Amino acid sequence: MKGSYGRAFYGVQAAKGAVADAWLPLGIIDRPRVNSRSGTEALHSVGDWDPAELSEGMAVVDLGLNIVALQNSTFLANAEKDAGGELPWLSFMIGYHKGAQDYRVQVIDCKLDSFTFRCDSGGRPSADVNLIGGKLTKTAVDPGAQTWPTERSYRYFELLWSEAAELLSFELNVRNNLEALGVIAGTTTVRDPERIWDYLEEGHTEIGGTLTYMLGDVDLDVQDCLIPGASKSLVLTACSDVSPAQSMGFYLSGLKKVDDQIELPVAGNIEIAVPFLATGWSFTAP
């Protein structure tokens, strides 16, 4: 709609089925999107070339957004499982505002399925985030005035592991392998709406990424671990005009590289991309 302003908020639910009672801003984001899948498919029968029926399947909502410039870890931390292996339930509200007109779509029972975090030397950290959700409704609930994040976007990075090599870029991929699961309803099964999934199963967490170096600064040895030691950290620091100093860090455990990938350009720096796997991750204060 021409001349409208998009709005997007999220909130942490107390439990499945309970809409969040407090809404939070998502920071510097772009293109939040909602795709409500109906699972509709064409059924064909022997002897007829036209579909005999258009059958509706299980309803699932896919959500996504791009964090253009990361300001804090508040939202991405919802991709961390607790000690029992559970992710928090989230509510989302996405819509537009144009004068007196407001349109809002609310999705509850969401969990953060995956994200890809990237930072390049001299650039701003960004992240692509994907979630899976449950019930989608049009709502007149207004999240009200919000206090937007006051932190500056991060711009400088530092490796807190013993390594002489200079890093050009860092990418971290975390996938929780969520799967929407429906069951054959019994007398106690309650669904709203009827075609929605019953459980959002959490699979194994996959943790990996890519480190990109100058070729001359890194040892080509895939028969050894990436960097000796069990835990590694990457610290992000805001621009120097921020006072007091502002920083945050990624904590990675069990890093080992998968292979060394070299691409030789016609001109310019020769770089080596080093995909890695890890056994654990979290945000940490540096």
pLDDT higher at 143 or 7:
7
Name the burial class of residue 3, with classes exposed (0-12), middle (13-18) and buried (19+) by CB atoms within 10 angstroms of its CB: exposed
**Which whole number is the average pLDDT over 24-36?**
88
Model confidence pLDDT, tens digit, residues 240-260: 666 666 777 888 888 888 887
pLDDT given for residue 186 in this prediction = 83
pLDDT > 50? residue 286: no
**Which whole number is the average pLDDT over 161-178?**
82
**Which whole number is the average pLDDT over 88-107?**
82
pLDDT given for residue 134 in this prediction = 92
| Beta carbons of 143 and 95 less than 8 angstroms apart | no
pLDDT > 90? residue 101: no
Model confidence pLDDT, tens digit, residues 156-167: 666 666 566 677
pLDDT given for residue 140 in this prediction = 72
Q: Tokens 């019953």, residue?
A: 198
Model confidence pLDDT, tens digit, residues 127-149: 999 999 999 988 777 776 677 77
Its pTM stands at: 0.86
pLDDT given for residue 3 in this prediction = 57
pLDDT given for residue 124 in this prediction = 82
